[in-house]
Structure 1
Amino acid sequence: MTTTRLPLFPLHAVLFPGLVMPLNVFEARYRALVSDLLRLPEDGPRPFGVVAIREGYEVAPPGRGLPGEPGVSVPDTRPGAGFAPDPMDSFHPIGCVADATTIRPREVGGRSPGGEGGDAGGEGPGSFEVLATGTTRFRLLSVEAAGRYLVGEVELLEEEPGEGAEVLATGVLRAFRAYQQRLAGAYERSLVPGTELPEEPSVVSYLVAAATVLDTAEKQALLEAPDTAARLARELRLLRREIGVIGKLPSVPAVELTRRPTNPN
């Protein structure tokens, strides 16, 4: 069993290996995390762990207010603010290692944007724009909340192909193209514009999981699939369901559905 310690970045979203996720980092605890990543060599990996939140908040709730100023709320800057006393209870058990391939500091009028982020307990004013690339799945073993941000002990998971992955990948690609056509409708848009779809089963499984419009729980279930074949089989059922649902709708706002916003924190 290969284990390691990773800074944790909880989100109401799921990151998949091989896929990219933009992050807008403005909260004090996550600015501290990114500041530490910036201290790592620029030409090497800058890893952290993305975990989906089962119960809790991406942005910390307000604290009790400033001393001497009743009723004035300030952010709770503790690493585990907004989560259960044992943060393990707030997160899904399987996450994804992310590599901060691009980090851009952004100053906004001498203070962090977004209100809740504030500057108390952070690494200075402003925020960060981070481009995170998923690399490897992990199982969360424990969470430590003693420092400036959450740190997890994780077990790195190898991707097992499973039985019949290649055949399933062919069926999923066929269904995904049909799904794209239905979703795009008259807009003639693609969820993967100008890109040829891959053939390698594990890559297909993660690309389709990321690109299909599903809720967080369904995406998390795909991330947690025991192997590639199991993930592809589940995706085939989901795609067939979604194609049927879309076919019954009078119109589909494809542009809105395919727009992927930056994840704020």
Structure 2
Amino acid sequence: MSHRLPLFPLGSLLFPGLTMPLHVFEDRYRRLVTELMALPTDTPRQFGIVGIQLGHEVGELSARQLYEVGCVAELRDVHEHDDGRFDLVAVGGSRFRVDRVIDPDDEHPYLRAETTFLPDELGPDPDSRAERVGRLFGVYCDRLNGIGVPAEPPDEFPTDPLPLSYAVSAAMVLDQRDRQELLAAEHAAARLDLAGALLRRENRILAELATLPGGQFLRREVNPN
């Protein structure tokens, strides 16, 4: 079944079950938020967050190429400023595949897309994979904390395979391509396998680092559009 979604292309990714703060200042996205807020209270206020493969966030037609898989976002905690800007929190819902991008027009000045929602399946032997990734993520956090970089304690993470696969994917500091592969993985087992491989790589790097590059290694920044 096809779903038409307004799109919010970003240089970062939202994962199902996770949250993302957004600062909305461009006119086209201010209009989108206003339209969503005008929907009846029993209607989901949803849009699609999709990663930018080529281009950048700000400016019309600046996102020249998008990744194929994104995540539905639902508006939460919307605060409107006097000048029309918004601060809001988006909560990740279903993943979707972009089937066709619809260019902006006078009625809809933002991108839209025909999308197909993707199922969340566990895949083979998810429990043992989740246990293994949980241990690797514990090492990852310990090594970050050991060099003075705050990291989420493993016991605050879910243990069920599906939410764990998304939580670990969102928590690791990775480039956009790695994060996109995690989001697009066929099922939780495949995502956990990939997360495990990435954690082993990152743990080797952290073990060899005497000092970190300048700047905060783990950041929780507000994403401007």
| 1:205-231 deviation digits (Å, cap 9, x = unpaired) | 000000001011100010011111010
> Helix, strand or coil for the counterpart of 2:22?
strand
Alignment of 1:68-217 (within 5 A): 78=60, 81-84=61-64, 90-107=65-82, 125-145=83-103, 146=105, 147-187=108-148, 189-192=150-153, 196-217=156-177
Runs of 4+ in 1 over 3 A off after TM superposition: 41-44, 186-189, 252-255
Compute the RMSD of aligned alpha carbons. Answer: 1.9
The offset of 1:260, in angstroms, is 1.2
Cα distance in 2, alignment partners of residues 170 and 44 from structure 1: 38
Identify the residue that residue 68 of structure 1 maps to in structure 2.
none
Pair 1:226 & 2:186 matched: yes
Shift of 1:191: 2.2
Report deviation, 1:141.
0.7
CA distance in 1: counterparts of 2:208 and 2:55, whole angstroms: 35
DSSP 3-state at the match of 1:205:
helix
Distance 2:200 2:149 in 1: 20
Give 1:227's aligned amino acid: H
Matches of 2:119 and 2:94 in 1, distance apart?
A: 8
Deviations 1:203-260 (A, max 9, x none): 0100000000101110001001111101000100100110010111112479811221
Determine the C-alpha separation between the residues in 2 that align with 1:155 and 1:192: 35
Identity of aligned residues (%): 42
TM score, norm. by length of structure 2:
0.93
Relative to the length of structure 1, the TM-score reads: 0.79
- 2:57, 2:63 within 8 Å by CA — same for their partners in 1? no
- For 1:169 and 1:215, how far apart are their aligned partners in 2? 22
5+ residue gaps, structure 2, are none
* Alpha-carbon distance in 2 for matches of 1:143, 1:188: 40
The residue type paired with residue 114 of structure 2 is E
Indicate how the Cα distance of structure 1 residues 21 and 192 shifts in structure 2: closer, same or farther if over 3 A, else same.
farther
Structure 1 residue runs of 5 or longer lacking an equivalent are: 61-77, 85-89, 108-124
**Higher Rg of the two aligned structures:** 1
